[in-house]
């Protein structure tokens, strides 16, 4: 990839907090993502249809990417399978921020598949990004990380990664450390399917990062084990608690507010909450919509506070780590008042960066 093309992609997406949503909720996401530093990742088989409407009829001018998500789900395709040329050409006609082919899942040890995706994306031209839906072992220094970095650097194309894990991809120490190593490389990296850690990755070198609007869009669920139905209950509606830098279910928030009603942690000044306690989200006419908008407004507020102004990368990193450290203290305080307020493992990893407690270590 030549320098001018890399610059164009970087200029379009630099420091962008993208809202990753399924096509059915794409129009809802516009209201939140139509701001400086905002953009959209439309996901699924209908993503291009929605993108065409958003660009041509709603005249949305922020960055738009389409992620077919063929690397996820029970019927996922795998890395060596061919791209859909029509999917690529339609993105080019729309002049989206970048072209993302419908690449398949990169399974553990599938070096041939990884190389295949990167080689084919390089041949697509300067406007293409390689989507890599990765088994988490690719971030392990003892398994795939060295190969991943070598292959990515050799290809010289920007990558957009999504990570596979049942719950919290950046919870395992090795995965967190591996991501830090990947972000330190010169290749532009876009983080897909994130939660609050999207802000952290922007501070630590990601070109752009996407926060998923549902649990299923914040990571890749692993394939169910043979003989398993892969089931489970429907995910509860959740919202970001600003001071905790984490999502919590509306039921859990309601219980915590009742247990500690005078705690200012529950008061939110976002345009949707408007100074009310977060307990109101559960009793709103449409709790899911209220939680959705509150969470995205909160994320953009955090992003703008850290990234706005003339600050160095080191200052941004210190600011993010300090907020994570503060959030850890909030969890400790809450756990003494109400049942099972445990910090996400990823938050612990971010906070530990303050004292360099995280080191490259073997997989547990």
Choose among 311, 308, 344, 313: nearest CA to 328.
Answer: 344
pLDDT > 70: percent of the chain: 93
Q: Pairing state of beta strands 130-134 and 64-67? A: unpaired
Residue ranges of the chain that CATH labels 3.20.20.60? 3-217
pLDDT of residue 244: 97
Rg of the Cα atoms in the chain? 20
Ranges of residues in the chain whose predicted pLDDT is under 70: 1-7, 227-234, 310, 339, 355-364
Other Cβ atoms closer than 10 A to 14: 14
pLDDT of residue 336: 79
Query: Looking at the DSSP assignment, which residues form a beta bridge with residue 235?
Result: none
Choose among 192, 184, 181: nearest CA to 145.
Answer: 181
pLDDT of residue 301: 96
Cα distance between residue 192 and residue 204, in whole Å: 15
pLDDT of residue 226: 73
Cα distance between residue 19 and residue 7, in whole Å: 23
CATH architecture, range 3-217:
Alpha-Beta Barrel (3.20)
DSSP assignment of 70-126 = TTSSTT--BTTSPP-HHHHHHHHHHT-SSB-----EE-TT-HHHHHHHHHHHHHH-T
Within the chain, strands assigned E span 16-22, 38-43, 64-67, 105-106, 130-134, 159-163, 189-194, 208-212, 238-241, 246-249
pLDDT tens digits, residue range 62-71? Answer: 999 999 999 9
Choose among 239, 243, 220: nearest CA to 295.
Answer: 239
pLDDT of residue 344: 95
Exposure of 353 in the CB half-sphere (CA atoms within 13 A): 23
pLDDT of residue 1: 43
């Amino acid at each position: 990839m030549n320098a001018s093309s890399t610059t164009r992609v970087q200029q379009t997406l630099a420091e962008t907090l993208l809202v990753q949503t399924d096509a059915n909720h794409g129009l809802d996401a516009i209201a939140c993502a139509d701001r400086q530093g905002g953009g959209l990742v439309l996901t699924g088989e209908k993503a291009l249809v929605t993108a065409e409407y958003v660009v041509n009829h709603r005249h949305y001018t922020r960055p738009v990417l389409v992620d077919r998500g063929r690397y996820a789900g029970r019927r996922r395709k795998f890395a060596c399978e061919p791209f859909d040329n029509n999917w690529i050409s339609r993105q080019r006609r729309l002049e989206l921020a970048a072209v993302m082919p419908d690449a398949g899942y990169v399974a553990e040890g599938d070096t041939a598949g990884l190389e295949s995706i990167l080689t084919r994306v390089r041949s697509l031209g300067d406007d293409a990004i390689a989507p890599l839906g990765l088994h988490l072992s690719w971030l392990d220094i003892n398994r795939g990380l060295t190969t991943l970095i070598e292959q990515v650097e050799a290809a010289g194309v920007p990558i957009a990664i999504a990570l596979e894990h049942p719950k919290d991809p950046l919870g395992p120490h090795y995965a967190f450390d591996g991501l830090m190593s990947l972000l330190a490389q010169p290749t532009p990296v876009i983080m897909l399917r994130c939660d609050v850690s999207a802000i952290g990755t922007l501070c630590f070198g990601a070109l752009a990062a996407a926060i998923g609007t549902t649990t299923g869009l914040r990571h890749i669920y692993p394939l169910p084990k043979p003989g398993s139905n892969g089931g489970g209950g429907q995910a509860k509606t959740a919202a970001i608690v600003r001071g905790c830098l984490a999502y919590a279910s509306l039921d859990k928030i309601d219980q915590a507010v009742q247990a500690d009603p005078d705690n200012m942690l529950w008061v939110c000044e976002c345009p949707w909450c408007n100074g009310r306690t977060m307990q109101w989200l559960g009793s709103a006419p449409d709790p899911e919509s209220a939680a959705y908008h509150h969470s995205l407004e909160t994320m953009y507020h955090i992003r703008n506070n850290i990234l706005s102004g003339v600050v160095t990368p080191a200052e941004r990193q210190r600011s993010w780590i300090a907020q994570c450290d503060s959030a850890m203290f909030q969890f400790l305080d809450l756990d003494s008042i109400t049942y099972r307020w445990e910090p996400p493992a990823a938050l612990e990893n971010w906070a530990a960066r303050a004292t360099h407690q995280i080191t490259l270590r073997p997989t547990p």
